[in-house]
Amino acid sequence: MSKELKIIDVHSHFLLPCYLEGLHAIGVNPAKEDGFPSPTWSAEAHLEFMKEAGIDFSILSLSTPHIHYGDDAFAAALSRQINEETAQICKKYPKQFAFAACLPMPSVEDSLQEIRYAYDTLGAIGVKMASNSNGVYLGDPKMDPIMEELNLRKAVVTIHPSRPKQVPENVFTSGPAPLYEYIGDTTRAVLNMITNGTLEKFPDVKWIVPHCGSFLPFVIHRLVGISEVLIPKGLMEPVNVMENFQKLYFDIAGDALPVAFDTLLKVADPSHIMYGADYPYTPVPPIIRKQKMLLEHASMQPIKEAVFYKNAAQLYGLKL
């Protein structure tokens, strides 16, 4: 892989034994839950992948399934263990890894404690939040105390999709959640934040929406049109949809080409777009192939350094 530019990967995952054992303890099988095979992972394998892909720095975050299935105390304890063990990995490899802390949402008090501990003691540089946590979506007013704490810290929050609590049966998309439900649930969560005023109430939180913005580039102008009908009728709270949308950041993990990346460019500021590999859930050969296509893509050329390095470096305050 050519090293004509530095690369920061803002969408990268890990699978610790404590995480998998914790899910097993509450009867959650990741492959069955999301209809998608769980990969193996080690820090050493991740470093080898980064070398092969020319990635200089990766921001690690927990993928899915998420860790709260109704037991606040269990989720809090597991979240703490995951964050402590991830922090140790980042401490061992500080020039290659940093992490976004996982939270035991929707438990508010436990999440507040974990935010403080992760930032003040463990050195987290961001937070990972699920699109929905045990059925409670981002944008729900019950989560406002968490948002207030993150706002005070000017936190960078990575959204990761989650399977909704209910999905249609007897259709293909009810099986492999990454195909549709992940994208749909991310979109649902962000629309909920926009329409509930979360982005306006907590303007210093920086939100990263994965997978080229999911369905947002395709529906955001539809929300603009619908809001112009609903707001005057008192059926929706007043909100400037596009002004809120422009606050968001996006990663381009997944299948950005041939359609999604150029569609995202039509609605998003290029300074808010960042590279993501989605390792290890995407195998190495497709990652390398997709990265090469992106680096050579015509519309990427004037913004290549920004998307692959500068935007993430500025957002997270990184100097490589």
Res 320: pLDDT = 86
Positive or negative CA dihedral for 42, 45, 49, 55?
positive
What percent of the chain clears pLDDT 90, i.e. is strictly above it? Answer: 91
Average pLDDT over residues 10-31: 94
Res 36: pLDDT = 87
- 214 residue type, one letter: S
Res 1: pLDDT = 44
Res 295: pLDDT = 97
Res 37: pLDDT = 85
Closest CA to 189 of 174, 168, 210: 210
What the block records as the tokens of 126 is: 């961001």
DSSP H or E stretch at residue 151: helix 144-152
Average pLDDT, the chain: 96
Res 209: pLDDT = 98
Closest CA to 6 of 127, 96, 98: 96
What the block records as the tokens of 124 is: 């987290």
Q: What is the pLDDT of residues 85-128, one digit of tens each?
A: 999 999 999 999 999 999 999 999 999 999 999 999 999 999 99
Q: What is the pLDDT of residues 23-61, one digit of tens each?
A: 999 999 988 888 888 899 999 999 999 999 999 999 999
DSSP H or E stretch at residue 159: strand 156-160
Res 23: pLDDT = 93
Q: Which domains does the chain have, with CATH numbers?
A: 8-316 (3.20.20.140)
What does the alpha-carbon distance between residue 320 and residue 318 come to, in Å, rounded to a whole number? Answer: 6
Average pLDDT over residues 215-220: 97
Res 256: pLDDT = 97
**Percent helix / strand / coil, the chain, rounded to 5:** 50, 15, 35
Average pLDDT over residues 289-313: 98
Q: What is the pLDDT of residues 64-92, one digit of tens each?
A: 999 999 999 999 999 999 999 999 999 99
Res 3: pLDDT = 63
Closest CA to 11 of 161, 187, 118: 161
With bands split at pLDDT 50, 70 and 90, how would you rate the model's confidence at 2? very low
What the block records as the tokens of 41 is: 């992972």
CB-CB neighbours of 210 under 10 Å:
24
Positive or negative CA dihedral for 7, 8, 12, 15?
positive
What percent of the chain clears pLDDT 70, i.e. is strictly above it? Answer: 99
Q: What is the pLDDT of residues 157-193, one digit of tens each?
A: 999 999 998 899 889 988 899 999 999 999 999 999 9
